[in-house]
Amino acid sequence: MTVLKIVLWPDPRLAETCAPIAEITPDIKTLAADMLETMYAAPGRGLAAPQVGVMQRMFVMDTGWKEGKSDPLVCINPMLQEVSEDRVDNDEGCLSIPGVQARISRPAQVRMVWTGLNGARYVQSFDGFAATCVQHELDHLDGVVTFDHLAAEDRTALIAEYYGR
């Protein structure tokens, strides 16, 4: 496995919508393994393909590994099926915007469908931090970063913080 270079904001690829993955090839399986290796090395809890310069609809996540409860997940062509009306505010970090935490409001629970590396279709509900992580990584696949969720004043302040680091 290889640790890949993480694309940093404001790279224009982070603002692009990713293409669906038509077939799970050996290259896709290698990319997934490399993305997990990269995420752990960063160290993060989620990483989307455009964050390593690959404009395809895939992300990896492992929300429990830092607490010793590793459960890596590879999500190919993920889509939300349902989102709760209840919302939660969290401080979100991003491996492509290092050193910056943005307060983001998101649905508290989501139901997602995706394809796994084995070609099987999965459906699962996520809540708590996992729901936030799923939504954050899905945003990357649609060309959205945390800054895009903020009011103009907050966005300007955090961008200044990012460039001042």
User: Which residue is catalytic, options 23, 92, 137, 153?
Assistant: 137
Residue 82 known to be catalytic: no
Outline where DSSP puts E strands in the chain.
46-48, 58-61, 73-83, 87-92, 102-107, 109-115, 121-127
Q: Supply the Cα-derived Rg of the chain in whole angstroms.
A: 15
- Cis check for the bond before 98: say yes or no (omega within 30 of 0): no
133, 46 Cβ separation under 8 angstroms: yes
Cβ-proximal residues to 116 (8 Å cutoff; 6+ apart), any chain: 74, 75, 76, 122
For 4, residues 6+ apart whose C-beta sits below 8 A from its C-beta are: 34, 35, 37, 38, 52, 53
Contact, 111 vs 125, CB < 8 A?
Answer: yes
Residue numbers annotated as active site:
137
